[in-house]
Structure 1
Amino acid sequence: MMMNNQRDWWKKAVVYQVYPKSFQDSNGDGIGDLNGITQKLAYIKSLGADVVWLNPIYQSPHVDNGYDIADYYQIDADLGSMADFDRLLTTAHQLGLKLILDLVVNHTSDQHRWFQEAKSSRDNPYHDYYIWQDAVSGQVPNNWGSSFGGSTWEYVPAVDQYYLHLFAKEQPDLNWRNPQVRQAVYDIMRFWLDKGIDGFRMDVINLISKVAGFPDGPIIQNKQYGDYYVGTANGPHVHEYLQEMNEQVLSHYSVMTVGETPHTGVQDAVPYVDARRHELDMVFHFDHMHLDYGKYGKFSTNRFKLTDLKRVLSEWQTTIAEHQGWNSLYWSNHDQARAVSRFGNDSVYRVASAKMLGTLLHMLQGTPYIYEGEEIGMTNVNYRDIQSYDDIETQDVFKRLTQIENLPVQKVMEMIHCKSRDNARTPMQWNRSTNAGFSIKQPWLKVNPNYTVVNVATAQADPQSIWYYYQRLIKLRHQYDIVTTGTYQLLDPDNPLVFAYTRTTATQQLLVVCSFATHISDWAIPVSLQSKKWQPLIDNYPIVADNETANLTLQPYEAKVFLRAL
């Protein structure tokens, strides 16, 4: 697809997400790096993607794998140098790829110069860059529990105050009420935009405005602390801040923005993405990610219900479109389980279900995000012991569930196998050689043992592989405007096995039918859609000539897309 200069170029684009530490190691230290990404840009281009999104590449102590930033203007030494980044950016643009970076400005690392100054004295000018509270009757300011265990408040004797950290204690939250903080953030953004990057993914951006008074949150089930979202999610000034950011920075560049917005329903999301409000282009919501939550929250081993998935995705499709907004489309990312393991079938029907999930997502309205390895059907990893896991969240959950909840270790390991963030962070599986071709040295995180079967080289040698199927899906999005502009309508909402919908313009209509069944099933085409005009557009099984206009016979995890003129 030829990219144009229109400000909404991202509407027809497909984004490929790269987790830098796990993509490709170029210098043999076991850690992926920028030069490794540069080496593989041609691979991403050949798949058909238009945009590459990099998780944080800035200087960091890596308490939270780069989401604790110590210097926004420096490249992390493990990943390379600024010269390496400049080469990466230049190469991407030469290939016709755009590049977006992670913007992490709800919090910094406690090693950031600002915080080092802030904790030294209440009189230090940087003290007000962060959120401080005095003790309340000798206790922490409220009952909020951090995402990685313990209280969200950490005491600093030198100033006799607590600072707020929604995540690890090494990740103090910035005080966005301070205009100097906001201007400092805008300066960081301009630095990278002036280098020529093409946009930002904004980490937990809806949490930057806290509710005054820091009210206690409801106690989270199976935890001793309160839910901090009550005083942080979609706070009182967040839209004011984002509009200021847009006016002062983003509006001066032709870029894309996507905000990560946990604890945000579709109605909450509308103000962020309504084009008339000039805030963000799209947001990552979590409604479909929460469908399999249960007694132990994210780490429950429940299976989602298809009727719930249809309801949630359909609500986002219709509501966002009604308000002149735009959807992000994703099954997985660096914080989530592998798509085919969570929503598909990663054993007998790994290939078929991975293709089906790709079809369902890429035919929706919005910008699709492909997480590295999704295009070859990479699966969750099943490490045998907790020591093999690196993720701070996973380690906290294991400790809490085994020591406080007294659950059997085997049970907790099953939960971690389902939901650990490390499922997504295992090294990219390039070929059958040692360490999956990721590195000549033992990687920072163990490779999934199934790399001898699931890898890029094997996929590219098979014309029927998931890889080539994804390539076809991307071509269809680029070729047919209806995939970008068509109106969405859900069909057969109560069917527990089939997700079917139409996309319609004044002159064309798409019919998308996706089976989630492990057996052959029949699906009745609605009477209003029964027609001999339908032409097969793509199918993850060999297309069989069929003149039947009233019913479709679907193979396990089959996906069918038809097109007709109106």
Structure 2
Amino acid sequence: MAADTQREDEVDREWWKEAVVYQIYPRSFNDSNGDGIGDIPGVIEKVPYLDELGVDVVWLCPVYDSPNADNGYDIRDYQAIMDEMGTMDDWERLLETVHDHDMRLIMDMVLNHTSDEHEWFLQSKDPDSEYADYYYWRDGREGGELPNNWTSIFGGDAWKYDEKREQYYLHVFDEKQPDLNWRNEDVRADLFEMLHWWLGKGIDGFRLDVVNLISKREGLPDGEDNPGWVGWEHIVNGPRVHEYISEMHDEVFADYDMMTVAEMPGCGVEEAKQYCGEDGDGLNMIVHFEHADIPYRPGGKWDLQDIDVELDELDDLNDPDTQFNDWDLHELRDVLTRWQIGLDGEGWNANYLGNHDHPRTVSRFGDSGFFRVASAKLLATLQFTLQGTPFIYQGEEIGMTNVEWQSFDELRDVEAIQQAEELMERHDVGFEDIKHVVKHRSRDNSRTPVQWSDEENAGFTDGEPWIKVNANHDRINVEDARANEDSIWHYYRELIDLREDNDTIVYGDFHPLYEDHPHIFAYLRTLGDSGVLVVLNVFAYEEAFTLPPNLDAEDPKLLISNYDDAGDDPTEFELRPYEARVYRIS
């Protein structure tokens, strides 16, 4: 195996490969003025906290001027700050503060669509305007039918009729998020100018929201009938997407030492190779959805056919024994292994398990009950020991969990609201009958306020929080975690330090082990003569591990474990529930 591994002098070093990224959803991070909404000054207050945790890059979700139909992902003005978030002066102070703490700042950028209140869209309602072709405007078909049968990712049709223009416009997401027409050169030129403007202010890169949806198939043909999003095959990885992204790289990104993180639903390994690296479109890394969509099925996370109950037996959906997150290790391991091996030398992975678009990680892939601490540490170990840049979503570092949603009025996410309404209408039931579905599927789970302390409103705000605070903040919070040396928070610090001091974990090749084991995920990372063995017991069962006979355990050392009494010998041992061990071996 050593003969196949790369040498240390062959490593292609980049700062963004060695970095640890912390994602901030500012609306739920920290409220500085008591209005119940997190803001930029609130983020500034917590920059020393991020520095102490040890992260290198702050990813700031949208703070641009927006009517907030999708919490900032519907941008009204790309070059202004939302009133609720603060001012441009506040943002300038944030950038300066982040840089003063030797960290970098990347901005979340939405290029597929704008708000329907953006000046471009308002002008485009006039067919004689210079902005008339900035969006997808179409006449309806004969008989009053819509331009095609595409559906919105958030539910319902993907077309909205505008009385002023007397045409329909396309919105792949919410009706207040019309899709930009990238075929129009002026659209691209205006967007590129705006990107230069932000980079000129000194930011260190972009996270690009759903950027592989920017090219739609010519003629916008009907989509195939499927249980989920109709039309996706004409939208995802469209015919000119590589042309557009390559142009954006050449016209903008190539001029800066920056980080590009591209969110790309429906992107597989082979497509990712075309987007990444010098031989591709120039992007640094891809945020794919293959592992994040486990255990979802083809219709997406609101497709309930993956649950072993009939949909007309909705009482069962509120049974705690109904397994919404029933997944097996084979699927997760196969996906991660395919991406680790597939992108080796040809791209770079963005290692994440949760973010603002998914329920809480420990509630999905771990155990939010008795083994919450152990399983949260195990999942962090997985993220930090794969090849790729690890991403921490706010609250993961203390093991925040999903929420018990008691009423429809508690929901804030546009997707959850629309999907819950459709589900209740389709089955003629009330929220009480489907609240268990919402608990396991809603994006609101990851958007509840960061739990800073056991005080009222979890120390997030002195006012009325814009969204429900998780009731378990009295026992799961940052203050208690920092005071407890055995906490998840301190374990994250250890992982960050370990990765910073170990090139094998950052750049080493990936070799899967025990690929058919039902509960153990094990792999070897190698760089030159150095090896790092990772052994993870991903479920609440005790399991025996034996080092494969083709591996030598010369001069072994335990680097980190989520159990205090793990031994230094990796040859043979018993793994306890959710136990993680990382060894140095030669």
Q: 1:166 to 1:524 in 2, by over 3 A?
A: same
Counterpart of 2:334? 311
Measured after TM superposition, the shift of residue 530 of structure 1 is 4.6
CA distance, structure 1, for counterparts of residue 266 and residue 281 of structure 2: 22
Alignment of 1:98-497 (within 5 A): 98-119=104-125, 121-137=126-142, 138-221=144-227, 227-294=230-297, 297-299=300-302, 300=304, 301-322=324-345, 324-406=346-428, 409-497=431-519
CA distance, structure 2, for counterparts of residue 10 and residue 41 of structure 1: 19
CA distance, structure 1, for counterparts of residue 429 and residue 552 of structure 2: 53
The answer as to whether partners of 2:408 and 2:431 remain within 8 angstroms in 1 is: no
CA distance, structure 2, for counterparts of residue 352 and residue 147 of structure 1: 35
Letter of the aligned partner of 1:108 in structure 2? T
CA distance, structure 2, for counterparts of residue 251 and residue 409 of structure 1: 50
CA distance, structure 2, for counterparts of residue 486 and residue 352 of structure 1: 26
Deviation string, structure 1 residues 174-222 (Cα, Å, up to 9, x no partner): 010111100111111111111100000000000000000112112232x
The answer as to whether partners of 1:106 and 1:205 remain within 8 angstroms in 2 is: yes
Deviation string, structure 1 residues 240-270 (Cα, Å, up to 9, x no partner): 1111111111011110001110111111211
Letter of the aligned partner of 1:354 in structure 2? A
Letter of the aligned partner of 1:316 in structure 2? W
Counterpart of 1:558? 579
Q: Which segments of 5 or more consecutive residues in structure 1 lack a partner in the other structure?
A: 1-5
Q: 1:336 to 1:271 in 2, by over 3 A?
A: same
The answer as to whether partners of 1:291 and 1:305 remain within 8 angstroms in 2 is: no
Q: 1:103 to 1:7 in 2, by over 3 A?
A: farther
Letter of the aligned partner of 2:238 in structure 1? G
Counterpart of 1:3? none
Measured after TM superposition, the shift of residue 546 of structure 1 is 5.7
1:86 paired to 2:108:
no
Q: Choose 143-152 or 453-462, whichever is displaced more.
A: 143-152
Counterpart of 1:534? 556
Q: Choose 529-538 or 45-54, whichever is displaced more.
A: 529-538
Counterpart of 2:307? none
Q: Choose 153-162 or 244-253, whichever is displaced more.
A: 153-162
CA distance, structure 2, for counterparts of residue 139 and residue 402 of structure 1: 26
The answer as to whether partners of 1:198 and 1:256 remain within 8 angstroms in 2 is: yes
CA distance, structure 2, for counterparts of residue 143 and residue 161 of structure 1: 16
CA distance, structure 1, for counterparts of residue 290 and residue 535 of structure 2: 22
CA distance, structure 1, for counterparts of residue 130 and residue 78 of structure 2: 19
1:10 paired to 2:16:
yes
CA distance, structure 2, for counterparts of residue 460 and residue 310 of structure 1: 32
The answer as to whether partners of 2:558 and 2:567 remain within 8 angstroms in 1 is: no
1:77 paired to 2:80:
no
Alignment of 1:508-527 (within 5 A): 508-527=530-549
SS in 2 for 1:528: coil
Counterpart of 1:61? 67
Letter of the aligned partner of 2:240 in structure 1? H
RMSD: 1.5
CA distance, structure 1, for counterparts of residue 463 and residue 429 of structure 2: 36
Say how many residue pairs are matched.
554
Measured after TM superposition, the shift of residue 474 of structure 1 is 0.7
Counterpart of 1:35? 41
SS in 2 for 1:493: coil
The answer as to whether partners of 1:511 and 1:563 remain within 8 angstroms in 2 is: yes
Measured after TM superposition, the shift of residue 507 of structure 1 is 1.5
CA distance, structure 1, for counterparts of residue 54 and residue 240 of structure 2: 39
The answer as to whether partners of 1:155 and 1:162 remain within 8 angstroms in 2 is: yes
Q: Choose 156-165 or 188-197, whichever is displaced more.
A: 156-165
SS in 2 for 1:489: strand
CA distance, structure 1, for counterparts of residue 41 and residue 101 of structure 2: 16
Measured after TM superposition, the shift of residue 387 of structure 1 is 1.0
The answer as to whether partners of 1:430 and 1:438 remain within 8 angstroms in 2 is: yes
The answer as to whether partners of 2:553 and 2:570 remain within 8 angstroms in 1 is: no
Q: Which aligned segments of 4 or more residues in structure 1 are displaced greater than 6 angstroms?
A: none
Q: Choose 151-160 or 177-186, whichever is displaced more.
A: 151-160
The answer as to whether partners of 1:512 and 1:561 remain within 8 angstroms in 2 is: yes
CA distance, structure 2, for counterparts of residue 547 and residue 50 of structure 1: 33
Q: Percent identity?
A: 46
Q: Choose 296-305 or 32-41, whichever is displaced more.
A: 296-305
The answer as to whether partners of 1:135 and 1:161 remain within 8 angstroms in 2 is: yes
The answer as to whether partners of 1:275 and 1:281 remain within 8 angstroms in 2 is: no
Q: Choose 385-394 or 130-139, whichever is displaced more.
A: 130-139
CA distance, structure 1, for counterparts of residue 464 and residue 403 of structure 2: 17
Measured after TM superposition, the shift of residue 122 of structure 1 is 1.1
The answer as to whether partners of 1:152 and 1:166 remain within 8 angstroms in 2 is: yes
Letter of the aligned partner of 2:501 in structure 1? Q
Q: 1:547 to 1:173 in 2, by over 3 A?
A: closer
SS in 1 for 2:150: coil
CA distance, structure 2, for counterparts of residue 306 and residue 141 of structure 1: 43
Deviation string, structure 1 residues 151-178 (Cα, Å, up to 9, x no partner): 1111123323211110111100001011
CA distance, structure 2, for counterparts of residue 406 and residue 230 of structure 1: 32
CA distance, structure 2, for counterparts of residue 56 and residue 181 of structure 1: 20
CA distance, structure 1, for counterparts of residue 534 and residue 521 of structure 2: 8
CA distance, structure 1, for counterparts of residue 120 and residue 78 of structure 2: 11
CA distance, structure 2, for counterparts of residue 525 and residue 9 of structure 1: 34
Measured after TM superposition, the shift of residue 531 of structure 1 is 2.4
Q: 1:129 to 1:476 in 2, by over 3 A?
A: same
Letter of the aligned partner of 2:48 in structure 1? A
Q: 1:318 to 1:548 in 2, by over 3 A?
A: closer
SS in 1 for 2:387: coil
